[in-house]
Amino acid sequence: MENKNLHNEFYEEKEKDFFSKVKVGFSKSKEDVWSKMEVKLNNTTEVESKQLRKQTKVISVNWKRYSIAASIAILFGLVGFMKFYTVEFNSVNGGTLSLILPDNSKVLLNGESSIQYNPYWWSFNRQLSFEGEAFFEVEKGSEFTVFSKNGTTQVLGTSFNILAEDGIYEVFCKTGKVKVSGGIDFKVIFPGTLAVLSSTGKIEISEDVKGEEILAWRTNEFIFNTTPLRKVIRELERHYNVTIIASNLNLKEMRFSGSLSREASLTEVLESVCFSFNLHIEKSGDNIYTVSD
């Protein structure tokens, strides 16, 4: 037991002697070490912050580009919608239809007529498509254009009547000034003047016309003055919503003059017209009548 204690004491003395000779290689104080470590930590944090800001900036720029692209796409879509969105109005046979356009211009459609225009683009371009017969009262402003199959009418502010159907194109100027284009020709007409597009593509001007005859449909009357029978029959078809067959007659050469009420029955009106030419009337089907000599 005693030998064992002596052995332990010997080794303890040896360890003390060894550790007393060992020197730790720190040349700086604890405060210096912590100060250096703090600088490194701060530098590392600053670098990471710059990288994070850089990444955030890149992401922000990308979103900005996407926002601009989306805005442009929406803008083009909106413009396209405004420019190409179209409304159409049709009047039935035997009736009239009154319309007020976006600029407060007024249109009265005769029976069996139609009109189309772009309501949301109207402020930029006053243009419309039309077929049939109508009376226009145009508010002053930018150029107002009416397109039809056979011709075009342009005004700034005026009132006029257009008949555009079955190869016929006629424009009567009531007030203001009207430019009529069609075929290979164009003319400017003034109040009381009628422009007629001929089969040769030339526009013929008539100053000796009666406006009350042309505009009689607006006052619920038929007023004809040496009017070709073909035109008379077409007017009756439109108003009474019927078909009148007169294939064996030379309708261009036959002309009718007279004043009749639109409130009269078709039979009464047809009898008055046919009496002048010694023609016969026969009902050959539902809403179908035949006129023969």
The per-residue pLDDT for range 228-268, each reduced to its tens digit, is: 888 888 888 888 888 988 877 777 678 989 888 888 998 89
pLDDT digits (tens, 9 = 90+) for 104-155: 999 999 988 999 999 999 989 999 999 999 999 999 999 999 999 989 999 9
Domain end position, chosen among 190, 212, 234: 212
pLDDT at 209 over 90: no
Question: Is residue 169 situated within a structural domain?
Answer: yes
Average pLDDT, stretch 19-48?
A: 53
Question: Is residue 103 situated within a structural domain?
Answer: yes
List the beta bridge partners of residue 135. Answer: 108, 161
Neighbours of 24 (CB within 10 A): 4
Q: What is the pTM of this model?
A: 0.68
List the beta bridge partners of residue 185. Answer: 182
* Residue 251 · residue 229 · CB < 8 Å: yes
Question: Is 169 in the same domain as 131?
Answer: yes
pLDDT at 42 over 60: no
> What CATH code is carried by the domain that includes residue 204?
2.60.120.1440
Average pLDDT, stretch 9-14?
A: 54
Q: State whether residue 262 is helix, strand or coil.
A: coil
> What CATH code is carried by the domain that includes residue 282?
3.55.50.30
Question: Is 100 in the same domain as 139?
Answer: yes
What the block records as the tokens of 185 is 């020709």
Question: Is 61 in the same domain as 117?
Answer: no
**pLDDT attached to residue 293:** 80
Question: Is residue 25 situated within a structural domain?
Answer: no
Question: Is 160 in the same domain as 274?
Answer: no
Which is higher by pLDDT, 45 or 214?
A: 214
Q: How far apart are CA 221 and CA 228, in angstroms?
A: 17
The 3-state secondary structure of 217-267, one letter per residue: HHHCEEEEEEEEHHHHHHHHHHHHCCEEECCCCCCCCCEEEEEEECCCCHH
pLDDT band of 46, cuts 50, 70, 90: low
**pLDDT attached to residue 50:** 55
Domain end position, chosen among 188, 212, 236: 212
What is the C-alpha R_g of the chain?
A: 47
Range of the domain at 161: 87-212
Question: Is residue 15 situated within a structural domain?
Answer: no
Question: Is residue 12 situated within a structural domain?
Answer: no
Question: Is 80 in the same domain as 91?
Answer: no
* Residue 196 · residue 173 · CB < 8 Å: no
Question: Is residue 265 situated within a structural domain?
Answer: yes
pLDDT band of 29, cuts 50, 70, 90: low
Q: State whether residue 116 is helix, strand or coil.
A: strand
pLDDT digits (tens, 9 = 90+) for 55-84: 555 445 566 676 777 777 776 666 665 677
Question: Is 164 in the same domain as 231?
Answer: no
**pLDDT attached to residue 38:** 58
Which is higher by pLDDT, 21 or 264?
A: 264
Q: How far apart are CA 113 and CA 184, in angstroms?
A: 26
Question: Is 144 in the same domain as 202?
Answer: yes
**Which residue in the block uniquely carries the two structure tokens 């407060």?**
104
Residue (of 246, 172, 178) closest to 215 by Cα position? 172
The dihedral sign for the CA sequence 4, 7, 11, 16: positive
Question: Is 43 in the same domain as 108?
Answer: no
Question: Is 182 in the same domain as 91?
Answer: yes
Question: Is 79 in the same domain as 99?
Answer: no
pLDDT at 6 over 50: no
pLDDT band of 100, cuts 50, 70, 90: very high
Rounded-to-5 percentages of helix, strand, coil across the chain: 35, 35, 30
Q: How many residues does the chain have?
A: 293
Question: Is 247 in the same domain as 148?
Answer: no
Question: Is residue 11 situated within a structural domain?
Answer: no
Q: How far apart are CA 66 and CA 282, in angstroms?
A: 73
pLDDT at 280 over 60: yes
pLDDT at 49 over 80: no
pLDDT band of 26, cuts 50, 70, 90: very low
Domain end position, chosen among 195, 212, 229: 212
Which is higher by pLDDT, 73 or 189?
A: 189
Q: State whether residue 40 is helix, strand or coil.
A: helix
pLDDT at 213 over 80: yes
Question: How many domains, in total, are found in the chain?
Answer: 3
Helix (H) or strand (E) holding 190: none
**pLDDT attached to residue 8:** 52
Question: Is residue 48 situated within a structural domain?
Answer: yes
Question: Is 65 in the same domain as 101?
Answer: no
How high is the mean pLDDT of the chain? Answer: 81
